[in-house]
Structure formats: C-alpha cells, structure tokens
Amino acid sequence: MSRLVTALLTLCLLGGALSVEGAAAAPAPNGAVLGLSAPVAPGVQAVGATPSARTSTSERRRTWRAPRGPYFNDPHRKKGYFTIERKVIQTIRHTPKGSTIRIAVYSFDRMPVARALVAAHRRGVKVQMLLNDHQYTKAMRVIRAEIGARRQADSFIHRCKAGCRSKANQYNNMHTKFYSFSRAGRSRDVIAVGSANMMLNAAVHQWNDLYFTSGDHTLFRQFVSLFNDMKKDHDTRRPARFFCGTPRGTACDDAVDKHTVWAFPKPAGPRNDLVIDMLDRIQCVTPDGAGGITRTRLALSMHTMRGRRGDYLAAAIRQKFAEGCRFRVSYGLIGFHTKKILGAPTRRGRIPLRSTGLDYNPDDNYDLNHDGKDDLILSYYSHQKYFAVQGTYNGVRDTHMVLTGSSNWASLSTGNDETWFTIRGKRLTKKYVRNFNYQWDHKRNSRNAYTTTYASFRVARMVPGEDGVMRRTFVTERRPVTTIERDGYRRGPYWESD
C-alpha cells in the first residue's frame, strides 16, 4: 500500500512539473517563445507579466518627464556617441496610446530608433515622418513596412522630393531637423530642435546638438502646422514662416521672446540676411558705469561656411571682432576664399579661429579626384550650427541667447527646408558655451585653423662700438608668421552631403 501511495505522489509531482514547463514554453503572439526569465527591453511590457508589473510599467510611463534643455554628443568618446539618440528613444518609448510623434529630418538610418517607433505604433501611437530623398535605408524600409507611406493616413513615412516647401530643383533639400511629441509621460507638447539627424555618422563622426522644450501649446501647434504644410511636398517655394508661440509684445522678437522660429526657405542676400540682422543688433562694447567697458562674448560653432553667402557673412563676423567683440569661431569645413576673408588681420589682430575637422587616418588611400595623390578625409567634424551671445543685444545688457537649428551659413541653405531657432536663457546659454569650450580647449577635439611658419627677418639694432658710440647694425631673426592655408579636406566616407 505504501508503495502505491509513493507511486501516485511521484506521478502527481511529475505532472505538475510538466504543466509548468508547458506553460513556460507556450507560444507567444507572432510565434515568439517567452521563457520565464526572458529579458525584456526597457519600456516594453512582457507578455504574461503580472498585473503588478503591468501597472508598474504603465505608472512609469505616466510619471516620466521629457528631457529639457540642450544635449550634445561627443564623437571622440564611446560613452558620448549616443547621448542625443538615447534622449530621442526615451521620449518615443514614453509616448502613450493616442499620442502623435512627428519627425522631420534630413537623413535616417538608426535601427534602434526605427524599432522604438515601430513599438510605439503597435501600442497605438500615431507616427509621422518626413525625410529628404537622397537615401532609402533599412531603417526607413522597416518603418514603411509598419506604417505605410500614405500621407492622408494617421501614420506614414514620406521622402520629400527636392525639399518639402522648397522649389523643386537639383540644389534644394529637406534639411530641417525637428521632433515633436504630443505627449510623453507627464510632459505635453514636446519639441526638439537642433543639428542632429538620426544617423550612425551623426553619433560617431560628428559633433551635434539637440534642444528639448515642452509645455508651450501654442508653439507646439505652430510646429504641427508647419509639419502639415511640409507633408504636402510642394513643387514651388512656399513663403517663409516666423513664429514664437505667444509673443510677449505685439510681434515675435528674438530680443524678448523665449523662443523664435524661422522656417525656411527664405532667400537672402547681404541686405536681408537673418545672420546680418542678428549681428547688427549686437553691441560689442558697453560702458560698465565705473569708467570701464564690458565686451560682448560671441561663440560660433558652424558646420560649414562657403560660397558667396559664406563670404559676406565672414566679412560681417570679422567686422564684429574688429568692433571689439570677443568673437571665437569654430568650423567643421570652410571654403578657402571664405576662410581668407574671415581670417584677414584687423587692428585687433586676427579673429580666434579653430577647426573641428580632423583626419586621424592619413593612410586611408582615398584618391577621390583621381589625380594620383591621396586625399585628406575627415574622421571628425562639427555638424552643429549654433551661435551663442553673451552681452548687449538690441540695447539690452547681459543678454544670454543661442541660435541653433539646421541652417548652415552657406549659399545653398536659404533655399532649403531649414529651421532657425533662437532661445533665451542664462543657464542654457552657459551649457552651449561649455560645449563650445570643450571642443575649443582640447587638442583632441579641434586644431588651430591658422598655419604658423617661421621666416628670417633682417632687423636693425643699435649696438655700442669699441669707442662707446652707438651704431646701427642688422641682425637676422627667426620670427613666426601666421598664414591662411587651404584646409585640403574632401568629402569622404563620413560625409552625408549635409
């Protein structure tokens, strides 16, 4: 009898174990198999999770707040590669069902971002994307397979042809970079603007920035209106748009409003260029009331300056330095003629000038122009387009403001879809200047853009003779000579035509 009881107990225990194993191996939706301890990506709810776990994830999504302020990547350090991308993915993961994500960027190849957008769409988020038409990457194809390309639908991905609001020709592009989220956690009306595309190249070879703000419903709706006009993919140039949320005065003014936005295209020349207008409002030297002066500090981190527009903007920048501004310029790439104008001597000397364009692989053996000589290829360069002002602006002392966005200070930019975005605030301006100083002060991150050579000079000297009489003689001295040379870099494997 005891043996029978033992056998029955053994069968019961085995049956229980088998039933548990069968439950653990039960097929999940789409044929996936979920083990009891299967790892789950952050922000994704596992199938079969306990009610308390589901509640915890839902609660975190409701209480999370979107990023605020500027973020910067560091292409020279692995831990700094994906700082911007992580913030975008975190925001995507915290968008709830019924919310809308709108993204307008020049280029896109990041599968982690694509997967986050697909997951958002599957939980009921509307996903809308606009891109330029120069590439069609795996990430784009994955998103299109999920949401389609029909612009009349709630979700879509579309590549604008030669710009969304620009005149259709071989030169114009959809080059803007902004991201909007109607809801993300506890935050509403989230907007992110800057220089960052969602590209691997943007993370590991370029310096980029992305500024987040939220809570301004009027500004958010203005960006939505802009996006809705862009998605029509116009063949003729649309008028430039200027908005700032709710203006503090009778009209939007970057001297007083927290944010102002110009949406290009906005054709320009020396007499009607937004950069010239901004520089003209800057007072370089201001009396401090104690018999001294205060100099306005200016820092420009610019991806590229070139062409006719680059030339006249370089002359205007140099003029502000000559007027007494403490002006520093850092560039990724620059036209040689533009560089000569910018670096020409003034009574105060030459404007401080450095470049983030660095070639760390001189033996790459690229001969892009087929002249039999190895061309220098950039391994790192700035893709930023920000300008920090600390001083007197439009007659207001102690102004702290930043211009950022997608627009290069070059000839082709004014015909593109671009975003020109100004921000006022002391703390945030200091963050941009800190990023600028980090690039400026470290030889790993930038180089002197001037070339220093040494030449022999015959110099007159008065020396005493044996009779004690002073006589003039000539001696040879080696002195440093500063010159402006062509950078010599060409487009290489880390260039996006951006």
Taking residues 149-154, what's their average pLDDT? 98
pLDDT (0 to 100) of residue 393: 98
The Cα–Cα gap between 388 and 142 comes to: 38
Buried b (16+ CB within 10 A) or exposed e, 229-238: ebbebbeebb
Q: Per-residue confidence at 54, pLDDT binned at 50, 70, 90?
A: low
- The residue type found at 66 is A
pLDDT above 90 as % of the chain: 71
pLDDT (0 to 100) of residue 31: 32
Taking residues 329-357, what's their average pLDDT? 96
Taking residues 268-286, what's their average pLDDT? 97
Question: Are the C-beta atoms of residues 426 and 400 closer than 8 Å to each other?
Answer: yes
Q: pLDDT tens digits, residue range 214-240?
A: 999 999 999 999 999 999 999 999 999
The Cα–Cα gap between 257 and 359 comes to: 41
Q: Per-residue confidence at 36, pLDDT binned at 50, 70, 90?
A: very low
Burial of 79 (0-12, 13-18, 19+ CB in 10 A): exposed
Q: By mean pLDDT, which of 47-61, 157-171, 311-325 is the weakest?
A: 47-61
pLDDT (0 to 100) of residue 221: 99
Spell out the domains of the chain, with CATH numbers in brackets: 62-230 (3.30.870.10), 241-449 (3.30.870.10)
Taking residues 144-159, what's their average pLDDT? 98
The Cα–Cα gap between 138 and 122 comes to: 19
The Cα–Cα gap between 240 and 415 comes to: 10
CA 104 to chain centre: 13
Residue 294: strand pairing partners: 286
Taking residues 194-200, what's their average pLDDT? 97
Taking residues 265-290, what's their average pLDDT? 96
Q: pLDDT tens digits, residue range 444-481?
A: 999 999 987 677 777 888 888 888 888 888 877 777 77
Question: Is the pLDDT at 48 greater than 50, yes or no?
Answer: no
Q: Per-residue confidence at 283, pLDDT binned at 50, 70, 90?
A: very high
pLDDT (0 to 100) of residue 39: 37
Nearest Cα residue to 174 out of 108, 115, 243: 108
What's the mean per-residue pLDDT of the chain?
Answer: 87
The Cα–Cα gap between 101 and 175 comes to: 19
Number of H helices, E strands in the chain: 11, 26
Question: Are the C-beta atoms of residues 190 and 66 closer than 8 Å to each other?
Answer: yes
Q: How far is CA 221 from CA 191, 215, 263, 408, in A?
A: 10, 11, 14, 26
The Cα–Cα gap between 120 and 104 comes to: 17
Structure tokens belonging to residue 399: 């102004």
Nearest Cα residue to 187 out of 206, 212, 161: 212
Q: Per-residue confidence at 301, pLDDT binned at 50, 70, 90?
A: very high
Taking residues 134-141, what's their average pLDDT? 96
Q: Tokens 């590439």 map to which residue?
A: 135
The Cα–Cα gap between 262 and 240 comes to: 7
Residue 404 makes CB contacts below 8 A (sequence gap 6+) with 70, 193, 194, 195, 209, 211, 384, 385, 386, 387, 421, 422, 423, 432
Q: pLDDT tens digits, residue range 377-419?
A: 678 999 999 999 999 999 999 999 999 999 999 999 999 999 9
pLDDT (0 to 100) of residue 295: 97
